[in-house]
C-alpha cells in the first residue's frame, strides 16, 4: 500500500521540533510525517521549506523561527552555517552533552531492546574548542581563488577557512601558510570533476608540545617547486618538524594513497596519552582528541576491572593504544588487527614504552581467537573497539565462545553498538555500565564505553 506523503517539495510548513537526529538535525513532524531540519533545536516552533522528499522522511531548511530554544547560542565560527565540519555549534555545550547521552539512550532502548539500562551522563571535555590534532582539508579553486577547508554539507564544494574553531592552532597556522605558498608558487590545485591539477589535500598532525607534521597529498608523483615549497613552509612554521608528500593518483574520494615520501625532517611525531608515548606516522590511526582519548581509555581500563592476573584480548587493536593501556594492569594482553602496518606501529609503540606483556598478531579476530583458544589461551576480558559498522554476528559469537568474564565494548556509533549489545545478550552477556564520552565536541558524534558481564548459568 502506497503511503501518502503530506508534504511537497518547495512548499513551506509550520511545525515544532521535538528531538535531535543522529546527525544533529532537528526532528519534527507534519501530519505524523518525519521532517529533518538542519540547524533546528528541540522545543523550537518554526516555518521550514521542504527541499528533499524520501519514502519515510523529508528534509527542510528553516525560513523563520517563531520560538527559540533556551539552549540556542551564537556559533563561534564565521562559516558555520555553510561548512559541514560541525553540526552543533548553535547548541550550548551543556545541552550537547545531554543530547549525546539521549542519543545513546534512544539507541539502546529502541535498537538494543534494553529499556531499563542506565546510561551515565556524558563525560565532556574541559575545553571543547581547538581540540583536533589531525586535519584533512581538501584544496581547490573557486572564482579564481585558492580555497582550503571543509566541504559544505552534503556537497563537495569547499568552504574556505582561515581558522577552524575545532582544529588545534598548529593546523590552522598550516592552512594559512599553505594557502600563501600555493598562490606564490602557482601550484596547480586539484579539480575532482576533471581529475586535473596536482595538490589535492593538506593534512596536518599536531603532537606533543605543538610539534607539527605537514602532509601534501598530490595527484601526481611530481610536486612542482618542491624544494621551495618545503623551504617556505619551514620559514613560516617554526613548530614544523616533518614534511611528507603522499601520492594519490586515483579518481576517487579516498584521501590518501599508499605511497608516502619524506620531504624533510622526522618520519614521525610524538604524542602522549596517559603517560604512554606514541610515534605517529602520516597514515597512523590516532585519536584526534588527545585529552579525551585519555578519558576514554581510562574508562575502558576501569571497566576491564584488571588486578594484574588477567589475560586480555584486544580484538581490534589498531596501533595498540588501548592495548598498551590494558597492559599496565594485566598479566598478558593480545592485540589483534587485520591491518599489518598498524600492527607494526603497535609493536614499535610497545618497544618504545618498554611494554613486554603485550603481543600483537596480524589477522582476522574470527580466525585468530579460536587459534589462541586451541593453544590454551583463556581470555578473562575481551576489549573491542570496532569500525563504525560494529561487529559481525560471527565476531560476537567468537567473543562469547571464549567465555571471558567481561567484554568491554568501545563504540563510535550508538546504533551499531545497540545492535551488538542485543546480540551479545542472546549469547549470555548482560550490559551493566554504559558511559558516553564526548570525543568530538561541536559535532553530532559520540563515543561510548560499555561493560558487559557473562551471565551466571543456573
Residues acting as catalytic residues: 412
- Least Cα distance to 180 among 139, 217, 151, 221 occurs for 139
Q: Are 45 and 64 in contact (CB under 8 A)?
A: no
Q: What residues pair up with 65 in beta bridges, in sequence order? A: 46
Mention every residue, 6+ apart, whose C-beta is less than 8 A from residue 277: 208, 270, 271, 349, 352, 353
C-alpha cell at 51: 527541499
Pairwise CA distance, residues 30 & 14, whole Å: 8
C-alpha cell at 36: 529533518
Q: What residues pair up with 135 in beta bridges, in sequence order? A: 204
Q: Are 286 and 271 in contact (CB under 8 A)?
A: yes
Q: What residues pair up with 196 in beta bridges, in sequence order? A: 191
C-alpha cell at 83: 561548512
Angle between helix 93-110 and helix 414-426 axes, rounded to 10 deg: 30
- Least Cα distance to 215 among 227, 233, 195 occurs for 233
Helices and strands (DSSP H and E) totals, the chain:
9, 21
C-alpha cell at 198: 596536482
- Least Cα distance to 85 among 36, 138, 31 occurs for 138
| CB atoms closer than 10 angstroms to residue 94 | 10
Amino acid at each position: 500500500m502506497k503511503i501518502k506523503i503530506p508534504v511537497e517539495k518547495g512548499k513551506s510548513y509550520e511545525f515544532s521540533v521535538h528531538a535531535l537526529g543522529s546527525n544533529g538535525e532537528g526532528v519534527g513532524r507534519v501530519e505524523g510525517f518525519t521532517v529533518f531540519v538542519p540547524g533546528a533545536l528541540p522545543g523550537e516552533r518554526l516555518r521550514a521549506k521542504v527541499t528533499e522528499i524520501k519514502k519515510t522522511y523529508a528534509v527542510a531548511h528553516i525560513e523563520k523561527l517563531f520560538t527559540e530554544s533556551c539552549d540556542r547560542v551564537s556559533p563561534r565560527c564565521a562559516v558555520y552555517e555553510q561548512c559541514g565540519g560541525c553540526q552543533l555549534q548553535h547548541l550550548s555545550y551543556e545541552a550537547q552533552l545531554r543530547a549525546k547521552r539521549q542519543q545513546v539512550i534512544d539507541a539502546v532502548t529502541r535498537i538494543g531492546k534494553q529499556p531499563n539500562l542506565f546510561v551515565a551522563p556524558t563525560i565532556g571535555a574541559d575545553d571543547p574548542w581547538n581540540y583536533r590534532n589531525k586535519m584533512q582539508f581538501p584544496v581547490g579553486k573557486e572564482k579564481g581563488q585558492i580555497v582550503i577547508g571543509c566541504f559544505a554539507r552534503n556537497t563537495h564544494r569547499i568552504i574556505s577557512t582561515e581558522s577552524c574553531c575545532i582544529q588545534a592552532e598548529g593546523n590552522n597556522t598550516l592552512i594559512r601558510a599553505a594557502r600563501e605558498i600555493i598562490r606564490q608558487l602557482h601550484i596547480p590545485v586539484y579539480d575532482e570533476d576533471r581529475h586535473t591539477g596536482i595538490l589535492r589535500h593538506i593534512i596536518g598532525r599536531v603532537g606533543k608540545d605543538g610539534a607539527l607534521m605537514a602532509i601534501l597529498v598530490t595527484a601526481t608523483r611530481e610536486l612542482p617547486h618542491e624544494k621551495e615549497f618545503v623551504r617556505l613552509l619551514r620559514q613560516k612554521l617554526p613548530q614544523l618538524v616533518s614534511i611528507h608528500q603522499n601520492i594519490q593518483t586515483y579518481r576517487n574520494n579516498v584521501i590518501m594513497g599508499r605511497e608516502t615520501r619524506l620531504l624533510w625532517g622526522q618520519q614521525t611525531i610524538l604524542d602522549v596519552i596517559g603517560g604512554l608515548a606514541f610515534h605517529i606516522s602520516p597514515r597512523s590511526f590516532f585519536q584526534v582528541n588527545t585529552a579525551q582519548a585519555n578519558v576514554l581509555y581510562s574508562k575502558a581500563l576501569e571497566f576491564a576491572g584488571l588486578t594484574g592476573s588477567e589475560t586480555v584480548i584486544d580484538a581490534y587493536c589498531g596501533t595498540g593504544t588501548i592495548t598498551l593501556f590494558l597492559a599496565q594492569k594485566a598479566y598478558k594482553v593480545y592485540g589483534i588487527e587485520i591491518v599489518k602496518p598498524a600492527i607494526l606501529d603497535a609493536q614499535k609503540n610497545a618497544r618504545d614504552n618498554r611494554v613486554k606483556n603485550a603481543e600483537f598478531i596480524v589477522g582476522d579476530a574470527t580466525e585468530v581467537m579460536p587459534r589462541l583458544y586451541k593453544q590454551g589461551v583463556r581470555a578473562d576480558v575481551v576489549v573491542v573497539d570496532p569500525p563504525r559498522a560494529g561487529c559481525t554476528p560471527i565476531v560476537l559469537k567468537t567473543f562469547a565462545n571464549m567465555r571471558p568474564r567481561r567484554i568491554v565494548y568501545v563504540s563510535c556509533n550508538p546504533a551499531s553498538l545497540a545492535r551488538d549489545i542485543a546480540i551479545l545478550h542472546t549469547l549470555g552477556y548482560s550490559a551493566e555500565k554504559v558511559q558516553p564520552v564526548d570525543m568530538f565536541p561541536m559535532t553530532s558524534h559520540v563515543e561510548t564505553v560499555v561493560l558487559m558481564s557473562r551471565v551466571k548459568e543456573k
